[in-house]
Amino acid sequence: MIEDFNTSMKVNAIFNRSDLLPALIVYSTFPTSAMVLGGVGTAMTQDVDQAYGGYLVLVEQDALHLKPLKKGRQNALRTASRSEFSPAEPIRIDRDQIQSVRIRPANGLSMFSSTVTMMLDSGRKYVWQINHKEKALPYHEEGFNALKEFAKTIC
């Protein structure tokens, strides 16, 4: 429930951190090109992570920490207030495991959200939709800015 992660201190405690690191919430999605192509785009999504509805992300200088969120109903409105934790363990992705990170406006033109595509050396691909603002999470904007800065350092 949102009460579990509505402050930066609570988020950092979830990841057992005593220092306050920037955090944000992201929602799992498919690449826009695969959605446009429909069935033909299925091959484009075979390595895309769709195990969870999204992640609570903690941005560290050399890694991203992901706490999986449960999947919601398909086509339901994605908001932090509707998100709940999955019982799965947190995931750590070290900088040297990341091959590329691209951040673009969602659907090619949205002013309110972005799509992040992150490819790992293992071939796994994360595609996230990120709202630029999350009313229920005062730390979200700072976390999104930290993610953008982190992405700039990936070669």
pLDDT tens digits, one per residue of 115-139: 999 999 999 999 999 999 999 999 9
* Model confidence pLDDT, tens digit, residues 27-58: 988 654 444 444 444 444 455 556 788 899 99
Q: Which two tokens stand for residue 149?
A: 């800065």
- What is the pTM (predicted TM-score) of this model? 0.82
pLDDT category of residue 76 using cuts at 50, 70 and 90: low
Q: How many CB atoms lie within 10 A of CB 76?
A: 10
Average pLDDT in the chain: 83
CA distances 64 to 33, 77, 90, 94, Å, are 26, 25, 10, 6
pLDDT at 108 over 80: no
Mean pLDDT, residues 136-155 taken together: 94
Q: Which residues share a beta bridge with 48?
A: 125
DSSP H or E run through 126:
strand 125-131
